[in-house]
Amino acid sequence: MTEQYQTVRAAAQAEFIVKKSRFIGYIAPMTTSAEALDFIAKISKRHWDATHNVYAYVIREEGVKRYSDDGEPQGTAGIPTLDVLEKQGLTDCAVVVTRYFGGIMLGAGGLVRAYSHGAAIAVEAGGIVTRAICARLTVTCDYTFYGKLAALVPASGGVVEDTAFTDAVTLQLRIPRALEGGFRAALTEASNGRVTAEKIEELYADLD
């Protein structure tokens, strides 16, 4: 498993006009080719009257990279759109750049710049997030140690997800797997070995 990767944070769109042609960039996170194709189909249906619906997507686990010029001259649309994702190091996302032709030819260079810009502003609108393999842990302690524990989690690079207060305090936390060992060592030292962490699972999660 890849320790971490970058993807788009959320579905988003942005648009601009150049020489009377309207370009709308759409982007969304996803994890399968089927999801990507469904997203592309929905945008294409929404803009059935557009001149072109150019797309590109990258799916990490499937090792898939696909693009389409959708009728634009070869190499002027799909490849520049995919290139934006690759240069940003993005995976598990799809982008569609819709064009409404405004009557003025852009030329090959103009098309490359326009589709690249359409993809880039979609990425900017969606935001980039790093996802990493994280360990989800629970730690139970008495109330006298709770203050130290609550400070130790963020200091070690973790995030507290939930806290339960009963006769003791139980924290559920998430921490990048690469930092788990350091957290456990710090926990042992801070509690003189009295408090330990139990691992629930490992999962990919956003690093905010």
For residue 63, the model assigns a pLDDT of 94
Residues 20 and 90 placed together within one structural domain of the fold = yes
Among 126, 143, 175, identify where a domain stops: 126
What pLDDT band is residue 2 in, cutting at 50, 70 and 90? confident
pLDDT digits (tens, 9 = 90+) for 46-74: 999 999 999 999 999 999 999 999 999 99
Residue 1 pLDDT more than 70? no
Q: What is the pLDDT of residues 131-190, one digit of tens each?
A: 999 999 999 999 999 999 999 999 999 999 999 999 999 999 999 999 999 999 999 999
Q: Which pTM was predicted?
A: 0.83
Backbone angles phi, psi at 55, to 5 degrees: -140, 165
How much is the pLDDT for 87?
96
Note down the domain range covering 25.
Answer: 4-126
179 in the same domain as 156 = yes
Count: domains in the chain: 2
